[in-house]
Amino acid sequence: MHKKTILHDRPFRTTVVMTTVVCALCSIAQAQVSPQLIDGKPITEVNSCITNGCHGSLVNQRVMHQPVADSKCLECHEYAVAEEHLFVLSKPGNQQCADCHTLTHLDRVIHKPVADGECLSCHDPHGSDHTTMLRKDPAKGLCLDCHMDDYSEHEYIHGPVAVGACVVCHEPHSSSFKGLLTDRPNRLCLSCHEELEPTLMEKRHLHKPMEDGCISCHNPHASDSEFQLNASVPNLCLECHGWFEELFETAEVVHAPAKDQGGCTECHNPHFSVLPKLQKKLQPDLCMTCHDKELVTKDGRTLTNMKAFLENNPNHHGPIREGACTLCHHPHASEDQNLLLQAYPPEFYAPFGVERYELCFSCHQPDLVMDEAGSGLTQFRQGDLNLHWLHVNKEKGRTCRACHEVHASQRPAHIRESVPFGSSGWMLDINFEARTNGGSCAPACHKSKVYLRSVPEVTEELQP
C-alpha cells in the first residue's frame, strides 16, 4: 500500500516540500537496515532511495543532477522523522539551489521565476531528458508555458523563434538589458546579421531607425510582412515619411515603385548608404535598374528602353552627363507629365510662354528664346538673328523637342534624327549637319536650309 501526501499546490514551487510515504517495501527495507542516528536524524542514507524500489525512475534521465546520479539524496533533503521516512528540503526556496549554483550577481532585469524563487518552474531537481535539466524541450514549449504566443500564425518567423532557441537572444536568469536580452539590441542583431554592420563610408548616411533600434522597423519575433517588418512597404515608410502619402493622393503622376509593394527599397537602402537620400546607386545607373527595358505605364504608354537608348546615343543632355535624372524628374510623384519637376508643354507645337517652359528655364536662360539678338547668347543664329527666338517664339511655336532629344542623340547639341509628323506616327528625318560656321537641315522633302554665324558681306561687283 502506498500513501503519498504532497503538501503544496504546485509540484515545481521551491517553497518547503514535505512528502510522507508509508510503504510496505520501504518499511521492510528500514526494518532490515536501521539508519545511524544522531539526535533522531540519520547521518547516512536509509539503504538507497534509488535502489530500494521507490525512486528508481529518477535515474532514468539523459541529464542527471549530480547528487542524484551519485545517490546523495541528503545533499538536498533531510529527514524530519527517520523512522517514518518523513523528509523535508534542507533549505527553502532558491537558497537550496544557491548552495551550489551561484546567482549572487543578478543584473537589474531578473526573470520573474528567478525573482520569485521558482527555479523548479523551469528545471527538474533530479534529472531530465533536456539540457540543464529543463522540464521541457525549450524548442517545443518550455518558454510557451508562460509566454503563450508561439507566433505560428504569422507568415514570417524569426529563425531562433521558429526553432525555439529563445536563449540565442534572451538570458534565462537575468540581464543588464530590457527584455532579458543578451546584449544591446542593435549589437545583438548584428551578432547574426553581420552584413548590416555599416562601414565607415556607409555611416555617412545612416537611416535614423538604425540609431533608434532595429525594432523600430522589424518585429524581433514574427510578422506577416517580409523581413519581419512591422508593416509592409511602403506603408511602413509612410509612418515616418507621412508627407509622401498626401503627395501620392494629390499628384497627377505617381512613380510606380513609390506605391508598389516593397517599392521604396528598389531605390533606397533601408539601412545606410554612401550616397545622399540612402540611394543604392548613383544616377543614372540607379534609374537604369528598371529603365533597362521597355515599360508600359498604367495609361498604356510604352516607355523607351532608356539604358539601350543612352548607350546608342553618346551625346547626352547635361543632367544625364552629370548623373542627375532628378534635375528634371521627380522620383516619387508630380503634377506634370512624365514626373517632370516643372511645367513643359506636352504638345509638339505649342504657343510660347515663359511659364510653360519653367523646366527648361531652370537651367537655360529665358533670353535664349525671348531675345531676338543671338550674338553672345547662342550658336544657333544667322548672323545676329537668334534662330531659337525665331523657331520657338515667333513662328509655329515649336517646342524644344522639335529639334532636340531631351535625353541623348548621336549628333552635337543632342539634335534629334527625326520628328513625328501627323497622327500616323510617320517619322520625318531632320538631316541635320554641323558646319564650321553653322549648320544645315533638310527635313524630308523640304529644301535644305543653312545658317551661318558669320555672314559674309555682299559687295557690288566692279564694272569695267
Q: Assign 50 a pLDDT band (cuts: 50, 70, 90).
A: low
pLDDT at 224 over 90: yes
Report the distance separating Cα 165 and Cα 167, nearest Å: 5
457 lies in some domain:
no
| 302 and 261 in a common domain | yes
Q: Which domain-ending residue is among 339, 366, 391?
A: 339
| 224 and 328 in a common domain | yes
Cis peptide before 284 (omega within 30 of 0): yes
pLDDT tens sequence across 269-300: 999 999 999 999 999 999 999 999 999 988 88
Least confidently predicted of 320-324, 380-384, 397-401: 397-401
20 lies in some domain:
yes
| 206 and 285 in a common domain | yes
| 121 and 75 in a common domain | no
315 φ, ψ (degrees, to nearest 5): -90, 95
Number of domains forming the structure of the chain: 4
Query: Hey, is 272 helix, strand or coil?
Result: strand
177 lies in some domain:
yes
Which domain covers residue 51, as residue numbers? 2-95
Kindly report the CA angle at 46 between 41 and 48, in degrees rounded to 5?
Answer: 145
| 172 and 120 in a common domain | yes
Q: Which domain-ending residue is among 38, 68, 95?
A: 95
16 lies in some domain:
yes
| 409 and 332 in a common domain | no
216 lies in some domain:
yes
| 195 and 293 in a common domain | yes
Taking residues 385-397, what's their average pLDDT? 86
pLDDT of the residue at 33: 44
Tell me which of 75 and 451 has the higher pLDDT.
451
Least confidently predicted of 49-58, 70-79, 89-98, 359-368: 49-58
| 326 and 225 in a common domain | yes
Q: Which domain-ending residue is among 78, 95, 112?
A: 95
| 78 and 208 in a common domain | no
| 184 and 198 in a common domain | no
348 lies in some domain:
no
51 lies in some domain:
yes
All cell numbers assigned to 211 = 540609431
390 lies in some domain:
yes
| 198 and 173 in a common domain | no
**Residue 179 CA from chain centroid, whole number:** 22
| 384 and 325 in a common domain | no
pTM confidence score? 0.74
pLDDT tens sequence across 88-104: 888 876 777 877 887 65
Report the distance separating Cα 328 and Cα 321, nearest Å: 13
Tell me which of 10 and 375 has the higher pLDDT.
375
